[in-house]
Amino acid sequence: MPASFLSASRQPRLWLASSRSLFPRLPYLPGSARFRGYPAGAMAALYRPGLRHSWHGLRPLGWPLCRSIQTLRVLSGDLGQLPASVQDFVERSARLCQPEGIHICDGTEAENTATLTLLEQHGLIRKLPKYNNCWLARTDPKDVARVESKTVIVTPSQRDTVPLPAGGARGQLGNWMSPADFQRAVDERFPGCMQGRTMYVLPFSMGPVGSPLSRIGVQLTDSAYVVASMRIMTRLGTPVLQALGDGDFVKCLHSVGQPLTGQGEPVSQWPCNPEKTLIGHVPDQREIVSFGSGYGGNSLLGKKCFALRIASRLARDEGWLAEHMLILGITNPAGKKRYVAAAFPSACGKTNLAMMRPALPGWKVECVGDDIAWMRFDSEGRLRAINPENGFFGVAPGTSATTNPNAMATIQSNTLFTNVAETSDGGVYWEGIDQPLSHGVTVTSWLGKPWKPGDKEPCAHPNSRFCAPARQCPIMDPAWEAPEGVPIDAIIFGGRRPKGVPLVYEAFNWRHGVFVGSAMRSESTAAAEHKGKIIMHDPFAMRPFFGYNFGHYLEHWLSMEGRKGAQLPRIFHVNWFRRDEAGRFLWPGFGENARVLDWICRRLEGEDSARETPIGLVPKEEALDLSGLGAIDTTQLFSLPKDFWEQEVRDIRSYLTEQVNQDLPKEVLAELEALERRVHKM
C-alpha cells in the first residue's frame, strides 16, 4: 500500500498568496466559486484541478487540464502557518473536494459563538431558551445512528482486519475492504463533494494536550454541526497545533456528501447522503475517511473512529490498550480511593455507573470518563488510564433525575441536543425523562410533529443524544485531566443478562479474565421487531469497534501478563439486569450498584469474602452489604442453573470457534475447555 492515501506523487502544489495584496476587495475571481464576506487578512490559495489524484495516489481522476485556475480562499486562519504536514493534508484534500473556502479553527469562544449562529441562521439548530446556551438539532430520519454495515477497515490482507470464519459463515467481527475497492469507493464520492461549502480544519487532541498518553488528529469537514460538536468532545484549536509541531497526527476527512452546486435545493434541510454513506479506516496510514453522514458516530471522527478503531491498532503496535470503557474513582468511608475501568455494551448503564450517586453512606464516586479508556503501563508497572474525550455524547432517553442526576445537572448549559423532543417553553423532552409537563406546555417530536403523552410513536428518537462538556459534570474526578492518567485497580465486564448470570463474580486470574471478556453477551432488541429480545455476543463491548483481527486483539490482551513488573488489575463481571420468573428485576441497580463496588474494593484489599464456583469467585453469603435494601433474593441472584450454563458454554464455543476460528488463541480455547469441564461437574 502506498505511504498514504493522500500520496504526494504527481500532485500540483497550491500557490499561496495574501488575499489582501493579490485579490484586493474582490468578492471572487472569474472561474471560481463565489466567496462572500471573507476577512481582509484571510489567505488565498490557487490550485489547478487538472491533475486531480484519488486516495492512495494510484491514478488520476481525469479532471480536464483546460479548466480555469480557481481561487481557494482561507476564510479564517493562515494556511501558511500550519505545520508542513498539516498544510499538505489540507491542500491535497481541498484539491480533491473543491470547497468554496477554508476555515482553520482556533477553538475560541468567539469562533464557537459564530459557528452556532451560522447553524441557527441555516435552520440546522434551534436555541433552547429554557437553558443557558443549549441547542437542538434534528437530523434527516435516515441519518440517526452509526451504520455498521457501511463502516470498514482497509488493509492489504483481510485477515489483518477480521478472522476468517469457519464453514463460510458470515463474519460478525468487523468489515474489511481491499485498498483497490476502497480506492474506487472514494473516487465515486469525494471529487468535488464540498463544492459550495466551507472546509473546516479541526486540529484536535484526544486526551489532555501534551500528555504522553494523548494523540493528535486533524479533521477536515464541511459540517458546522461537526465543528460545534468536536469542540465539546475534544480539545480543539490553536494549542493543539502548537503541541503537534512536526509530529505525527491521524488524518480525518469527512464530508456530508451533498455539494451545493446550484443544481437544485437539497432534499432534506439536514445535509447527508445515506445511499453513499461510507466510513473507512486505513490503520496502516493512521487515516479515516467518512462520507455521507452528519450523525455523531459517523462524523465526529475523534470518537469511535479514532479513539477505538484506529487507536486500538496504535495500542497493539505500541503496547497499550484502547478500550470501550468508562473510568471512575471510588472512595470508601475510610478515605481509600480506587480507580476502576468498566466495559459494557450499549444500553447497559455505562454512563449511569460512571456518574453514579452511591446509595451507601460515606461512599463517593467521581467520573474520569463514561465511554473510552486509553491505558498504558507506567515505569512502575501500574496500568494508568486517561479519558481521551473532553465531553459526553450520551443517549438521552432513559436519562432522568432518578437514573442519573449528575448527567441531568451536566446538560443544563452549553449542550447540543440531537433528535430529542422540544417543549413549547423552550426545553427538551424524551422517554424516561421523568418530568411532568407543566400545564399548557406542548411537545414537538424529533420529527417536528405535535406529540402528547400516550402517543404510539416516541417523542425522541431512541438514539437521540446530548453532547455536553465533561467539565460541567458535578462529580468529575480531580485527576480526570492528569497527564499521567489514573491507576486502574480493577476492570469490570458486564452485560444485560435476564437469566443465569450472577450479579457479580471475579475472574480466577488474568487469563481467565480475558476469556470472560471474550465471552461477553448482552440482551439486545433485534432490528426486526417480531424477533423480540435476543442475546448478542459483544466481546469486550468492542464488537463494532475493533481496528484489527479480534484473535490478534485477544493475543495482545494475553501478552500483558508477560510484561515484566506489570501489576495487573483484577477482573470482574457484573450483571445488574437479572430477572425473576415474573420478569421483575432482582437487583435495584443505579445507586445501589455501589454495594457491588464495595465488595470489589474489599476483594482488592485481600478480604476473604469470596467462594469459588464453576464460573468464578462470587461473594460469600452476607459478604454484600445489603443494609437498608429490604428483601433481596440473593439465592436467585447468585444461582447458577446447570442447564443454563451448559447452553451458555455451547453458545460461547460455537461463537468463538466459528467467528475467530484459526485465530483463536490456544489460551482462550483452554479456558473455554476448563469452563466446560467445571460446568459438566455441577
Residue 265 domain-assigned (yes or no): yes
For the cut 70, the answer to whether the pLDDT of residue 468 exceeds it is yes
pLDDT for 263 = 67
- Domain of residue 396, CATH code: 2.170.8.10
Residue 32 domain-assigned (yes or no): no
In 3-state terms, what secondary structure has residue 224? helix
Calculate the CA dihedral of residues 444, 448, 454, 457 and round it to 10 degrees: -150
For the cut 60, the answer to whether the pLDDT of residue 82 exceeds it is yes
Q: Which of 40-44, 216-220, 398-402 has the lowest mean pLDDT?
A: 40-44
Same domain for 385 and 450, yes or no, is no
User: Which residue, among 190, 187, 205, has the nearest Cα to 93 in the 3D structure?
Assistant: 190
Same domain for 192 and 240, yes or no, is yes
**SS3 assignment for 184-215:** HHHHHHCCCCCCCCEEEEEEEEECCCCCCCCE
**Sign of the alpha-carbon torsion through 358, 364, 365, 367:** positive
67 vs 356 pLDDT, higher one? 356
Same domain for 485 and 553, yes or no, is yes
Calculate the CA dihedral of residues 171, 174, 177, 179 and round it to 10 degrees: -140
pLDDT for 264 = 59
Amino acid identity of 506?
A: E
pLDDT for 532 = 60
pLDDT for 347 = 77
Residue 398 domain-assigned (yes or no): yes
Same domain for 458 and 592, yes or no, is no
Q: Which H or E run includes 375?
A: strand 373-377
Same domain for 230 and 93, yes or no, is yes
| CB 223, CB 271: distance < 8 Å | yes
For the cut 70, the answer to whether the pLDDT of residue 234 exceeds it is yes
For the cut 90, the answer to whether the pLDDT of residue 674 exceeds it is yes
Spatial separation of the C-alpha atoms in residues 430 and 399, rounded to whole Å: 9
Q: 178-204: per-residue pLDDT in tens?
A: 999 999 999 999 999 999 999 999 999
| CB 8, CB 88: distance < 8 Å | yes
Helices (H), 483-539: 510-518
Spatial separation of the C-alpha atoms in residues 74 and 102, rounded to whole Å: 4
Residue 662 domain-assigned (yes or no): no
Q: 357-386: per-residue pLDDT in tens?
A: 999 999 999 999 999 999 999 999 999 999
Instruction: Look up 563 and say whether it is catalytic.
Output: no
Q: Among the options 304, 338, 521, 578, which is catalytic? A: 304
Q: What is the mean pLDDT of the segment spanning 288-317?
A: 97
Residue 435: count other Cβ atoms within 10 Å of its Cβ: 14
- Domain of residue 116, CATH code: 3.40.449.10
Same domain for 330 and 386, yes or no, is yes
Q: How confident is the model at residue 45 (pLDDT cuts 50, 70, 90)?
A: very low
Residue 539 domain-assigned (yes or no): yes
Residue 161 domain-assigned (yes or no): yes
Q: 161-174: per-residue pLDDT in tens?
A: 999 999 989 999 99
In 3-state terms, what secondary structure has residue 648? helix
Instruction: Look up 187 and say whether it is catalytic.
Output: no
Place of cell 456528501: 257
Instruction: Look up 146 and say whether it is catalytic.
Output: yes
Residues spanned by the domain of 397? 392-472
Q: Cβ neighbours of residue 73 under 8 Å, at least 6 residues apart?
A: 19, 23, 35, 38, 42, 43, 44, 45, 101, 102
Answer with the one of 428, 456, 472 that is the final residue of a domain.
Answer: 472
Instruction: Look up 56 and say whether it is catalytic.
Output: no
Same domain for 386 and 396, yes or no, is no
Spatial separation of the C-alpha atoms in residues 350 and 56, rounded to whole Å: 39
pLDDT for 26 = 25
Q: What is the mean pLDDT of the chain?
A: 89
| CB 270, CB 306: distance < 8 Å | no
Q: How confident is the model at residue 266 (pLDDT cuts 50, 70, 90)?
A: low
Angle at Cα 603 formed by Cα 597 and Cα 607, nearest 5°? 130
Same domain for 238 and 157, yes or no, is yes
Residue 455: count other Cβ atoms within 10 Å of its Cβ: 12
Instruction: Look up 304 and say whether it is catalytic.
Output: yes
Instruction: Look up 138 and say whether it is catalytic.
Output: no
Same domain for 306 and 432, yes or no, is no
Q: What total number of domains does the chain contain?
A: 3
Residue 649 domain-assigned (yes or no): no
Spatial separation of the C-alpha atoms in residues 658 and 576, rounded to whole Å: 29
Answer with the one of 453, 472, 491 that is the final residue of a domain.
Answer: 472
| CB 136, CB 128: distance < 8 Å | yes
In 3-state terms, what secondary structure has residue 471? helix
pLDDT for 269 = 85
Answer with the one of 440, 472, 504 that is the final residue of a domain.
Answer: 472
Residue 19 domain-assigned (yes or no): no
Same domain for 292 and 326, yes or no, is no
Q: 100-146: per-residue pLDDT in tens?
A: 999 999 999 999 999 999 999 999 999 999 999 999 999 999 999 99
Q: What is the mean pLDDT of the segment spanning 600-621?
A: 98
Quick one: angle between helices 109-121 and 224-233, nearest 10?
140
| CB 570, CB 489: distance < 8 Å | yes
DSSP label of 63: -
Q: Among the options 324, 338, 512, 543, which is catalytic? A: 324
Q: Which of 303-312, 342-351, 388-397 has the lowest mean pLDDT?
A: 342-351
Q: 614-632: per-residue pLDDT in tens?
A: 999 999 999 999 999 989 9
Q: Among the options 7, 268, 346, 400, which is catalytic? A: 346
DSSP label of 503: S
118 vs 6 pLDDT, higher one? 118
Instruction: Look up 19 and say whether it is catalytic.
Output: no
Q: What is the mean pLDDT of the segment spanning 40-56?
A: 29
- Domain of residue 582, CATH code: 3.90.228.20
Q: Among the options 38, 200, 225, 295, which is catalytic? A: 295
pLDDT for 265 = 52
Same domain for 214 and 356, yes or no, is no
Q: Among the options 140, 143, 187, 371, which is catalytic? A: 371
Instruction: Look up 324 and say whether it is catalytic.
Output: yes
Same domain for 382 and 492, yes or no, is yes
